[in-house]
């Protein structure tokens, strides 16, 4: 996979009207970022969103971060990825994950035994029948892996891992588990605010959202963070660990820490005060410092 050293995790930018989204991703490609990541949750369906972005660009890789295994069967997942990989060769990466219990149950599905579910799902994907034209090369698959066992599964069965909402110590641990021949591509949120107070105001929604999800809290607790520090909206120390803030060169330094800890690629998510803005000016300032 040629993800590049840095990519852009779209976050709420992925929810822009299609015309605005096409314009934004074309600009991101011109800035030199290697990969554009989009989530799913209850926004655009992952493959539809990826197709919009692929059609609006010419060379950037597009990755799902992540497509939810509970809301489509394994054949639909594998064949959606095959269709995109055949239409846009070597430009699509399938990131899949177990998501979170509240998001899954809210859509009428039952969240249980996530590790076993993922293992069985990968087995079913490998056997998925497909009658359309196959891509020359199968789409790479990466897992949204946080804990050691899911990281081990990523090492054994996929091309690598895409952890989210993680500090540098997790990147270091993940590299040790994945070994040298698997891709490690963590997400890293940033704010161009020059003070912590201003950055915390910008990142309040981000912190509240993910500290209220058990998977992320449990992962951080496993790494040694106390319950007090994990109580939303999180301590200043935790905020500094999971969000890069300050001037462009300071944010670039924090991104380099993930590379030094073993990341092949860092998916940069620029936090914004409101979810209806594409932070293209911020990304233009960061690009020369992080894409090479």
The answer to whether position 1 is within a domain reads: no
Residue 7 — left, alpha, or beta (φ > 0 → left; ψ -120 to 50 → alpha)?
A: beta
Give the integer Cα–Cα distance in Å for 65 and 160: 13
pLDDT confidence of residue 291? 96
CB 36 within 8 A of CB 53: yes
Q: What dihedral do alpha carbons 238, 188, 49, 13 form, nearest 10°?
A: 70
pLDDT confidence of residue 276? 77
Looking at the 3D structure of the chain, how many domains does it have? Answer: 1
CB 159 within 8 A of CB 113: no
pLDDT confidence of residue 273? 86
The answer to whether position 116 is within a domain reads: yes
Report pLDDT digits (tens) over 265-280.
999 999 998 877 899 9
Give the CATH number of the domain where residue 22 resides.
3.20.20.30
Q: What is the band of 101 on the pLDDT scale with cuts at 50, 70, 90?
A: confident
The answer to whether position 220 is within a domain reads: yes
Give the integer Cα–Cα distance in Å for 207 and 205: 6
The answer to whether position 184 is within a domain reads: yes
Structural domain that includes position 272: 6-290
The answer to whether position 16 is within a domain reads: yes
pLDDT beyond 80 at 103: no
């Amino acid at each position: 996979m040629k993800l590049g050293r840095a990519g852009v995790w779209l976050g709420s930018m992925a929810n822009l009207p299609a015309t605005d989204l096409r314009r934004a991703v074309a600009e991101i490609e011109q800035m030199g970022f290697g990969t554009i990541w989009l989530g799913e949750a209850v926004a655009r369906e992952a493959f539809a969103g990826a197709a919009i972005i692929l059609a609006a660009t010419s060379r950037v890789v597009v990755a799902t971060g992540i497509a939810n295994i509970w809301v489509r069967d394994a054949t639909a997942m594998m064949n959606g990825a095959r269709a995109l990989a055949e239409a846009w060769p070597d430009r699509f990466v399938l990131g899949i994950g177990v998501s979170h219990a509240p998001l899954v149950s809210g859509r009428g599905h039952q969240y249980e035994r996530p590790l076993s579910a993922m293992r069985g799902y990968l087995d079913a994907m490998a056997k998925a029948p497909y009658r359309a034209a196959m891509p020359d090369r199968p789409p790479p698959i990466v897992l949204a892996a946080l804990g050691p066992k899911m990281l081990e599964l990523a090492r054994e069965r996929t091309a690598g891992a895409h952890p989210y909402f993680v500090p540098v110590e997790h990147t270091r641990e993940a590299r040790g588990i994945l070994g040298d021949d698997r891709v490690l591509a963590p997400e890293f949120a940033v704010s161009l605010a020059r003070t912590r107070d201003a950055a915390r105001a910008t990142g309040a929604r981000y912190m509240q959202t993910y500290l209220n999800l058990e998977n992320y809290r449990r992962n951080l607790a496993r790494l040694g963070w106390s319950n007090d520090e994990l109580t939303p909206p999180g301590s200043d120390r935790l905020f500094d660990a999971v969000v890069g803030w300050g001037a462009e060169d300071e944010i670039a330094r924090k991104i380099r820490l993930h590379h030094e800890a073993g990341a092949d690629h860092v998916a940069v998510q620029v936090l914004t005060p409101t979810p209806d803005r594409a932070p293209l000016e911020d990304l233009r300032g960061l690009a020369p410092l992080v894409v090479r």
